[in-house]
Amino acid sequence: MGEYLSTTFDKFELRVRRGYSYTEDGLWISMEEGRVRVGVSDYVQRTGGDVAFVELLKPGSTVERQREFGTLETAKTTVSLLSPMSGTVEEANGRLVEKPELVNSDPYGEGWLVTLAPRKLENELKTLMSADGYFELMLKKLETEHKKLEVR
Amino acid sequence: MVDLPEKKVGIISCSGEACVEGTISRVATRLVLEKLRPEETVTICLPLFLAGGKEERAFAKYYPTITVDGCDKLCAKTATERYSGKPASSIVITDLTRNPGCSRSGRRKLDSGALGWAEKAAERIAKEVDGVLDHWR
Amino acid sequence: MKTTMQNKVIVIPCSGIGKALGSVSREATYEVVESLRKGVTETTCLALITSGDEETLQLVKTNKCITVDGCPLQCAEKNVKLAGGELAASFRVVDTLKENRNLKPKSVTFLDHDGQELASLLAKQVAEKVDELLKK
């Protein structure tokens, strides 16, 4: 079993990383010894476009689940980032200041956004989807919402 | 590797900026992608293809391609043959316009005449797309 | 196409066809070579450079080159470097976008107002660099 679930739409390969949990909006979390790392899915970066700016809450800020913790400004739009969990921001990915394109090139790795110290982990984990669940959702979205990914 | 969920045709345009025929080739390709055959086609970005773009090369390797070149230098066709394989069809804009060479005039913004050629070229590309897909089915 | 250009700055856009930023790179280049610095600049096809066209390679090896890339993939810069061109400067549309966050070019085939505006701003930056290079 590979690290990713993937599908091809037009010429683009869209991947969903196994082992992560997802919101319907395409934010992922990975668990790391009591804290969670947060990023966006391949689908979000692909449909959003080339990221020019990333704005994130500073470390020490608190955020509630489904509230905005940042934005991605791309060449064509601004994507609001809604937090998958309630908690305190421990770290914001400083590399994204100089290299916002990391969100596009490596959304599940170096393009991570923030780490959070979660406050309601157990309860809020239940609100998230597995990789398989998000993958199915992504397939449905591709079918119904996008004739083409590249005609923007 | 890439699976093949549906039948699509990749269009590779030279998009050359040195002459008007490059712009015609670019606009014609975009017209096919956006209006004439949006669900059946994909564009392959030639600079990215040449630079080794993984998705562009993978697509061109497994799906049929149509190349659209502005002039007889045939950059798109040559690159496709080199990195992926023979295209299913090749169109050269100077063959359509019957111009002997590449013209620098009007390359930035197509005038009505050149736009007419872009539309004709787009129709021709669309027919080639249909032909490729019929053959595939 | 005969090229007998010497002592000109060659401006090479990526002209990526899949994104509005590629169209902006192309338009900015035309603004420079056909308007702002006409006579001292010219453009050539990136594909000709990469395919090893003798005449084009000679052009980019004997004149200073400026690349204008749409996105961070920087295909023009990479390909000109690989071909041994004399790369004097490189620009990315996405950097001009960062300086002008209100502009959101959407259309690819025919640039919309924001795309035109972005191209115009970038063209001025490229033109300034051309002046710098010609002084040297």
ipTM metric: 0.90
CATH topology of domain A4-145: OB fold (Dihydrolipoamide Acetyltransferase, E2P) (2.40.50)
Q: Is residue C132 part of a domain?
A: no
CB-based contacts of A99, cutoff 8 Å, min separation 6: none
- Give the minimum alpha-carbon distance from B98 to chain C in angstroms, rounded to a whole number: 16
Contact B53/C at CB under 8 A: yes
Q: What is the pLDDT along chain C (136 residues), one digit of tens a residue?
A: 444 556 899 999 998 898 999 999 999 999 999 999 999 999 999 999 988 899 999 999 999 999 999 998 999 999 999 999 999 999 999 999 989 989 999 899 999 999 999 999 999 999 999 999 999 8
Centre a 10 Å sphere on the Cβ of residue C2 and count the other Cβ atoms it contains: 6
B5 vs A8, A148, A151: nearest CB: A8
Rg for chain A (alpha carbons), in Å?
A: 15
On whether the CB atoms of residues A28 and A111 are closer than 8 A, the answer is no
Range of the domain at C84: 25-124
On whether the CB atoms of residues B33 and B45 are closer than 8 A, the answer is no
Q: Is residue C13 part of a domain?
A: no
Lowest mean pLDDT among A58-72, B98-112, C14-28: B98-112
Chain C residue closest to A11 (CA)? C18
Chain B, residues 103-132, CB within 8 A of chain C, namely 104, 107-108
Q: What order of strands is seen across the sheet that includes strand A78-82?
A: A51-56, A68-74, A78-82
pLDDT of residue A75 exceeding 90, the answer is no
- Give the minimum alpha-carbon distance from B133 to chain C in angstroms, rounded to a whole number: 22
Q: Is residue C14 part of a domain?
A: no
Report, as an integer, the average pLDDT of B3-30: 88
- Test A151 with B44 for CB contact under 8 angstroms: no
Which residues does A contribute to its contact with B (CB < 8 Å)?
7-8, 10-13, 147-148, 150-151
On whether the CB atoms of residues A13 and B2 are closer than 8 A, the answer is yes
In the prediction, which pLDDT does C51 show?
85
Report, as an integer, the average pLDDT of A133-144: 92
- Test A8 with B8 for CB contact under 8 angstroms: no
Give the chains touching B; criterion: ≥3 Cβ pairs < 8 Å.
A, C
The mean of the pLDDT values for chain A is 93
Report, as an integer, the average pLDDT of B8-15: 92
Q: Is residue C101 part of a domain?
A: yes
C97 vs A52, A77, A105: nearest CB: A52
Calpha distance B92→B115 (Å, rounded):
16
Of the pLDDT bands very low, low, confident and very high (cuts 50, 70, 90), residue B62 is confident
Of the pLDDT bands very low, low, confident and very high (cuts 50, 70, 90), residue B1 is very low
CB-based contacts of A145, cutoff 8 Å, min separation 6: none
Q: With contacts defined as CB-CB under 8 Å, which chain A residues touch C113?
A: none
Report, as an integer, the average pLDDT of A17-33: 96
pLDDT of residue B2 exceeding 50, the answer is no
Residue identified by tokens 């692909």 is A46
Contact C119/A at CB under 8 A: no
Q: Which DSSP letter does residue A38 get? A: E
Q: With contacts defined as CB-CB under 8 Å, which chain A residues touch B43?
A: 150
Which of C14, C17, C19 is most worth mutating to test chain A (most A CB atoms within 10 A of its CB)?
C19
Q: How many domains does chain C divide into?
A: 1
Q: Is residue C29 part of a domain?
A: yes
Does the global pTM surpass 0.90? no
Contact B101/C at CB under 8 A: yes
Q: With contacts defined as CB-CB under 8 Å, which chain B residues touch A151?
A: 33-34, 38
